[in-house]
């Protein structure tokens, strides 16, 4: 699956307009007849589906121990429509007491409940049923994701929601294939290993792909018999809450999955440091990842981290510039640039730099920005005011430091958090736009002369999450794939991902791997067992 496929022929840019209405304006009765979200679905209908789905979620409650419960202190999180910047409701906010309750429920479900003791094949069947429920509710989930974070509905429905179901099915298949080994040892002994679930998992997920990141962490943990407490980002709680209900409907026993949205500094910090949690898994910024890692280390708790990136994309001489420019635009601007893998540093050989820059500018200007509920839209709003402000500051800083603004760089419309896809040319490695993770629709073009130079500069960053090389020369491809200090290298493509492909980073981009068989190691521990053979004398 490609998370940012080329969209084909350019569309004229759309203009963002104030949209949205509070769910209170809709009748509280049963939802209208269901329909599928397709490229022909009007934006207003997709928006209506989101608010109807919103009515299915008890947003004033947390999901703890298999039931919906109000937060202990009654705290709430505002739900902000990124298209307008206005609140349309609120959701429950967990505090430390709620995290305590959720961990206690997960602890009891692990220590005393059926889930870890269930036949592995039966756990797999529950996950298969959950995947089916995600698939049958895919339109509502996609619409909620668009409402929550401004993700283009075409991506939410066509890419992200299917990836959630695929991830669940992939690990459902692994449930009965996790096992130990027999070991050769000296003497008349039989020795073997057991791979056992690690226990209670605390999963802290980001706002950019809320449900997909939850599935990537929960599916392998649940498959091996762990129980979990999920703390979704406070900006994006909705699909995680709906997922909790679907998991219960699929047959997950009470306490196996608990969902406690809340601020990172309270709910997230309490979960990361909790003595009742056996393992922490976190996806987010490197800055916050350091805090999570320290909190986990204080209790000698294993912690896997998928953190930030400043991914390079190298365009070699002889590459197909049309393919490379289209892929680079998608790699930089997909989901408003709010991707840890975003290719914000594009190293272009001097012999093709000017032609590539012209193509990059054309691709950025042709990208449709507007209402994310419209299938014509390729780029919606940034997630919130803070992210909008951060990206806007970098747009100013790039110009101040001497980069040339070749395309974009401005706000779209007067409401909400819409920004133009932006291309800077003449960028130097020392500039902040080339060093820092911006997490916005900003593409920086840098000139290079030799492959060795490009690889050295690409690696000259504290990050090491992903990279790409565009070349028709096999020696160039092989040299780059081996030299780039990153967790994933794409060749003549970008953001090709699969549940079967391990994903994670080198250096400050993280510790451990999500996805693939490797992710199962995050949630299991090995126990060695030795015993004498039947007739062996015990000495």
- The catalytic residues are 306
Dihedrals φ, ψ of 346, to 5°? -110, 110
CA dist., res. 343 & res. 325, Å (int): 12
CB 369 within 8 A of CB 11: no
CA dist., res. 344 & res. 526, Å (int): 40
SS3 at position 453 = helix
CA dist., res. 37 & res. 48, Å (int): 11
CA dist., res. 146 & res. 135, Å (int): 17
Query: At which residue do the structure tokens 């969209």 appear?
Result: 7
Cβ-count burial of 31 within 10 angstroms (0-12 exposed, 13-18 middle, 19+ buried)?
A: middle
Q: Is 481 left (phi over 0), alpha (psi -120 to 50) or beta?
A: alpha
HEC profile of 118-165: CCHHHHHHHHHHHHHHHHHCHHHHHHHHHHHHCCCHHHHHHHHHHHHH
**In 378-439, alpha helices (H):** 385-400, 432-435
Q: Is 337 left (phi over 0), alpha (psi -120 to 50) or beta?
A: left
CA dist., res. 333 & res. 302, Å (int): 34
- The contacts of residue 170 (CB under 8 Å, 6+ apart) are 219, 499, 500
CA dist., res. 211 & res. 133, Å (int): 14
Query: Which candidate, 481, 443, 483, 472, places its Cα nearest to that of 347?
Result: 443
CA dist., res. 287 & res. 12, Å (int): 38
β partners of residue 348: 315, 447
Secondary structure percentages of the chain, helix, strand, coil, to 5: 40, 20, 40
CA dist., res. 486 & res. 468, Å (int): 10
466-470 vs 312-315, strand pairing mode: parallel
Query: At which residue do the structure tokens 């393919």 appear?
Result: 323
């Amino acid at each position: 699956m490609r998370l940012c496929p080329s969209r084909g022929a350019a569309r004229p840019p759309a203009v963002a307009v104030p949209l949205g209405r509070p769910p209170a304006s809709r009748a509280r009765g049963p939802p209208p007849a269901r329909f599928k979200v397709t490229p022909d679905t009007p934006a207003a209908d997709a928006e209506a589906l989101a608010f109807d789905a919103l009515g299915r979620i008890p947003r004033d409650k947390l999901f703890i121990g298999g039931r919906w419960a109000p937060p202990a202190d009654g705290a709430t999180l505002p739900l902000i429509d990124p298209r307008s910047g206005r609140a349309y409701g609120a959701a429950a906010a967990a505090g430390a007491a709620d995290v305590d309750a959720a961990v206690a429920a997960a602890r009891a479900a692990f220590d005393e409940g059926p889930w870890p003791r269930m036949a592995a094949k039966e756990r797999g069947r529950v996950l298969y049923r959950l995947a089916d429920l995600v698939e049958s509710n895919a339109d509502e989930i996609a619409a909620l994701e668009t409402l929550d974070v401004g993700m283009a509905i075409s991506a939410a429905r066509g890419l992200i929601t299917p990836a959630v179901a695929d991830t669940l099915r992939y690990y459902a298949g692994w449930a009965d294939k996790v096992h130990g080994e027999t070991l050769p040892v000296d003497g008349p002994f039989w020795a073997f290993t057991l791979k056992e679930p690690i226990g209670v998992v605390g999963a802290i997920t980001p706002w950019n792909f809320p449900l997909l990141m939850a599935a990537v962490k929960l599916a392998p943990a649940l498959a091996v018999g762990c129980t979990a407490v999920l703390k979704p980002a406070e900006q994006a709680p909705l699909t995680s809450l709906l997922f909790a209900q679907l998991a219960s409907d699929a047959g997950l026993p009470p306490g196996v999955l608990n969902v406690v949205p809340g601020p990172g500094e309270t709910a997230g910090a309490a979960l990361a440091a909790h003595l009742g949690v056996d393992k922490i898994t976190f996806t987010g910024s490197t800055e916050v990842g350091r805090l999570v890692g320290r909190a986990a280390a204080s209790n000698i708790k294993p912690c896997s981290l998928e953190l930030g990136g400043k991914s390079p994309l190298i365009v070699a001489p002889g590459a197909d510039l049309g393919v490379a420019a289209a892929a680079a635009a998608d790699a930089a601007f997909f989901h408003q640039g709010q991707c840890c893998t975003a290719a914000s540093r594009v190293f272009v050989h001097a012999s093709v730099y000017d032609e590539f820059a012209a193509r990059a500018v054309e691709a950025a200007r042709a990208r449709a920005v507007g209402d994310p509920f419209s299938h014509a839209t390729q780029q919606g709003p940034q997630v919130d005011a803070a992210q909008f402000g951060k990206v806007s500051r970098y747009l100013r800083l790039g110009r101040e430091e001497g980069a040339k603004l070749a395309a974009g760089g401005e706000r779209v419309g007067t409401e909400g958090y819409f920004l133009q896809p932006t291309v800077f040319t003449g960028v130097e490695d020392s500039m902040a736009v080339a060093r820092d993770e911006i997490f916005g629709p900003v593409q920086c073009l840098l000139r290079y002369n030799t492959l060795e130079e490009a690889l050295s500069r690409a690696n000259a960053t504290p990050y090491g999450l992903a990279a790409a090389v565009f070349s028709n020369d096999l020696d160039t491809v092989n040299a780059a794939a081996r030299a780039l200090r990153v967790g994933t290298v794409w060749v003549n493509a970008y953001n090709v991902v699969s549940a079967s492909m391990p994903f994670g980073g080198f250096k400050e981009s993280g510790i451990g791997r999500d996805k693939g068989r490797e992710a199962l190691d995050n949630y299991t521990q090995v126990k060695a067992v030795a015993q004498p053979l039947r007739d062996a004398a015990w000495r």
